Structure 1
Amino acid sequence: MALLDDVLDASGGLARWNSLNRFTLHLSVGGTLFSSAGHAREFKDVTAEGSTRTQSVRFTGITGGEYSGSFQPDAITIESVDGEVLRTWRNPSLAFPNAGSDLLADELHLVFFCGVAIWNYLTSPFLLAHPDVVIEELPPWQDNAETWRRLRAQFPSSLITLAPEQIFYFDENALQRRTDHDLFGMKVAHHSWAHDSFGGIVVPTLRRAQALQPDGTVVAKPVLMDVEIFDAVFE
């Protein structure tokens, strides 16, 4: 598909992405999804290390630097700074689709949600080239004076995502600018901007999730989720 080819090239190219195995991020995550659950500062100024090939992320420095948290599809763990496993949540994917607003009830839920979100954020748009992801180009979307092209993606059950169906928007430079999907019973839009190149891979360093009106316009407040990436290293 021509649009997907343009998008992959704009983000660094599929060949470069396929040569990579791991990433390390320095980032902060916040928003009302976290503050309303009592976790306003749990994911401020943390390190995320993960695989570009499998769904795996380890966060260091959560809860004010006291703990680490690990996300894998079959288990979430909370660990001490020296690596001792303190708590474990087995097979979290079974609970995720039905968790609703209780998803962020404690640190295990928080690590699960952030693990899914950050891994999917970082691997997009290359994840759209996965052989089991079904994509379809939609009519363009007018965003103020800009025209954004769109892809609808349907993800297989073998991948843990924030939603099985999502709509991706790309600007005139084929860079990802917005993603729409359902979350906790509401429709949300994730805007992304401030793209930067790290080792040849172009990443939006700022993301913001907000609720959507039925007509597709964004509700300005509250901001559900804010992600700021300060640095990224790919290996």
Structure 2
Amino acid sequence: MNSIAQSIIDGHGGLAQWRKFTKVQADLVQGGALWALKGQSGVLDRTTVTVATDRQWASHAPFGTLAVKSEFAGDRISLIDLAGKVTQSLEKPRGSFDGHTLETSWDALQLAFFAGCAMWTYLNTPFVLAWDGVECQEAGEWTEQGETWRKILVRYPASLEVFSKAQAIYVGPDNLVRRLDYDVEIAGNTPGAHYVSDYTTVSGIRIPTRRRIYPRLPDGHSVAQPLVVSIDLSAIALT
């Protein structure tokens, strides 16, 4: 882990504190235009999300009316019923998005993959910067919301399943993340600007409770409409 990652991780509570835990769980409320666009309106409006901190694993429970829960494990996605039986599953689910654009509809397993992959990445940020093979470097300054932020370019290795291998993190003067940028590869490389705010401290770790994702222009600025995804977290627990 280089000094850039170290400074950001320290601002969020430090790696030693983070590694005391193996899971993050939160009540999740979601909105935004994406879900209807993908033909999955309402499925994950209100649920509980759990992610592992020591491996790639995430679950949404319930998964709407379709399953008791989903399980994302990087190269496999599953839907599970009340008896614990796998009712649907897909190996190497990323390949199922080949040729997709932003307007392409998703089936239930594709929704589960995207949601699991996204929330694993979000809730493990910035501590994922300490994972083997994750690279980051300074990319200058960015002024927004009356602050000057550091822009950090991040490259994820092939061993991690993320929906965009190249991303950017913006951190404020307090080293807390303010924004994430990525081009969603599984949706036609659609560019997004993802803002995080309303931090709370849980077991010594700083975690944002509010996330808002908007379209991103070629010059790096975002536009206020449409709101692509909204995420609000509460009852956050680290175990």
TM-score interval for Structure 1 and Structure 2 normalised by the shorter chain: over 0.9
Tell whether the 8 Å contact from 1:104 to 1:113 is kept in structure 2 after alignment. no
> In the TM superposition, what is the alpha-carbon distance from 1:67 to its structure 2 partner?
3.1
Matches within 5 A, 1:119-138: 119-138=120-139
Aligned twin of 1:216: 220
Where does structure 2 lack aligned partners over 5 or more consecutive residues?
A: none
Distance 1:103 1:85, change over 3 A: farther
Q: Deviations over 1:79-132 (max 9, x none)?
A: 223322211112213335654447751211111000000000000001112231
Tell whether the 8 Å contact from 1:31 to 1:40 is kept in structure 2 after alignment. no
Distance 1:63 1:79, change over 3 A: same
Aligned twin of 2:205: 201
Counterparts of 1:222 and 1:213 in 2: how far apart (Å)?
13
Aligned twin of 1:90: 91
> In the TM superposition, what is the alpha-carbon distance from 1:42 to its structure 2 partner?
0.8
Distance 1:97 1:6, change over 3 A: farther
Q: Deviations over 1:56-91 (max 9, x none)?
A: 112111215853211112321112233222111122
Counterparts of 2:238 and 2:145 in 1: how far apart (Å)?
35
The more displaced of 86-95 and 8-17 is: 86-95
Distance 1:134 1:42, change over 3 A: same
Q: Deviations over 1:124-145 (max 9, x none)?
A: 0011122311111111101142
> In the TM superposition, what is the alpha-carbon distance from 1:233 to its structure 2 partner?
1.0
**TM-score scaled by structure 1?**
0.92
Matches within 5 A, 1:13-92: 13-64=14-65, 67-92=68-93
Tell whether the 8 Å contact from 2:179 to 2:193 is kept in structure 1 after alignment. yes
Moved segments of 4+, more than 6 Å: none
Structure 2 counterpart of 1:14, which letter? L
CA RMSD, Structure 1 to Structure 2 (Å): 1.9
Aligned twin of 1:11: 12
**TM-score scaled by structure 2?**
0.91
Aligned twin of 1:231: 235
Structure 2 counterpart of 1:186, which letter? T
Counterparts of 2:123 and 2:117 in 1: how far apart (Å)?
10
Distance 1:104 1:127, change over 3 A: farther
Tell whether the 8 Å contact from 2:51 to 2:123 is kept in structure 1 after alignment. no
> In the TM superposition, what is the alpha-carbon distance from 1:30 to its structure 2 partner?
2.6
> In the TM superposition, what is the alpha-carbon distance from 1:222 to its structure 2 partner?
0.8
Tell whether the 8 Å contact from 2:4 to 2:137 is kept in structure 1 after alignment. no
Counterparts of 1:194 and 1:204 in 2: how far apart (Å)?
5
Tell whether the 8 Å contact from 2:59 to 2:71 is kept in structure 1 after alignment. yes
Q: Secondary structure at the match of 2:114?
A: helix
Q: Secondary structure at the match of 1:162?
A: coil
Q: Secondary structure at the match of 1:178?
A: strand
Aligned twin of 2:117: 116
Tell whether the 8 Å contact from 1:34 to 1:104 is kept in structure 2 after alignment. no
Distance 1:104 1:18, change over 3 A: farther
Structure 2 counterpart of 1:220, which letter? A
> In the TM superposition, what is the alpha-carbon distance from 1:225 to its structure 2 partner?
1.1
Where does structure 1 lack aligned partners over 5 or more consecutive residues?
A: none
Counterparts of 1:57 and 1:171 in 2: how far apart (Å)?
28
Q: How many residues align?
A: 235
> In the TM superposition, what is the alpha-carbon distance from 1:199 to its structure 2 partner?
1.2
Counterparts of 2:116 and 2:108 in 1: how far apart (Å)?
12
> In the TM superposition, what is the alpha-carbon distance from 1:201 to its structure 2 partner?
1.3
The more displaced of 133-142 and 91-100 is: 91-100
Aligned twin of 1:174: 175
The more displaced of 31-40 and 213-222 is: 31-40
